[in-house]
Amino acid sequence: MADLTWKYQNFTSAEGPAEAVSFLNKAPRQGPGEVSATPRNDGSVGLFFLDPGSLGTSTEPTWKYQNFTPAQGPAEAVSFLNKAPREGPGEVSATPRNNGSVGLFFLDPGSLGTSTEPTWKYQNLTPAQGPAAAVTFLNVEANEIGSGLISAIARGDGSVGLFYLEPGGLSRGITPDYAYLNFTPAEGPAAAVAFLNEMGANRAGYASAYARDDGSVSLFYLNI
């Protein structure tokens, strides 16, 4: 198998999620844990992806996109993910925005099918809690959450929106642990991609990245 490399692609507001979905569904197609997408308020999309994708020339499962309004919010997104055929590890990349809306890229059909466990859940951390509390939650309170089991963003105001599968099926106290890094607008996606490829996190499900409007990037990753 060819070496996997993290890459980054930006889609303009005119291209939007539809073009991002089309890109993901072209061979060599990305599989579970190989996509971390940010659909922004202005319609543009920042897309981190592992290349080449593990799905190759297959046509199923298929990447799709769903938007949830502020009135629907993360609760409706969680409900959607927990309906059959349910998405499994690495099959979800969700962006809970500041206004309460959620942009959701997902693989369909999901690998969990009609099962009822593990279950998708959502946690919001305030600006006062921030990424540090999110990392503590993942490593201490929910230490069983492993690769591909989260989709997390750290917003510009310091708050964190976290979708995760529970239980994660791993033993407590195992390594690697989750860690967090912020890249400034001057560093941007290029520095985030370089970091992931240099530190050995070029594996499916090891990164959840959020490319903000101002060019900065929030990155939750499994520290090898």
Quick: pLDDT tens for 69-128. 999 999 999 999 999 999 999 999 999 999 999 999 999 999 999 998 889 999 999 999
pLDDT band for 171, please (50, 70, 90 cuts): very low
Q: What predicted TM-score, i.e. pTM, was given to this entire model?
A: 0.93
- pLDDT tens digits along 125-141: 999 999 999 999 888 76
Does residue 6 carry a pLDDT above 90? yes
Q: Do 211 and 217 form a contact (C-beta atoms < 8 A)?
A: yes
Of 216, 213, 215, 219, residue with least CA distance to 13? 213
Predicted pLDDT of residue 148: 78
CB neighbours of 127 closer than 8 A, spacing ≥ 6?
157, 158, 159
Burial class (CB in 10 A: 0-12, 13-18, 19+), 87: buried
Q: State the first-to-last Cα distance of the chain, in angstroms, to the nearest integer.
A: 21
Does residue 1 carry a pLDDT above 50? no
Encoded tokens for 114: 């009609």
Predicted pLDDT of residue 174: 54
Per the rule left: phi > 0, alpha: psi between -120 and 50, beta: everything else, 130 is: left
Tokens 């080449």, residue located:
52
Our count of domains for the chain comes to 1
Does residue 202 carry a pLDDT above 90? no
Predicted pLDDT of residue 177: 86
Cis peptide before 17 (omega within 30 of 0): no
Predicted pLDDT of residue 101: 98
- Containing domain of residue 40, as a range? 5-223
Strands ordered across the beta sheet of 5-11: 5-11, 45-51, 35-39
Of 152, 161, 158, 96, residue with least CA distance to 129? 158
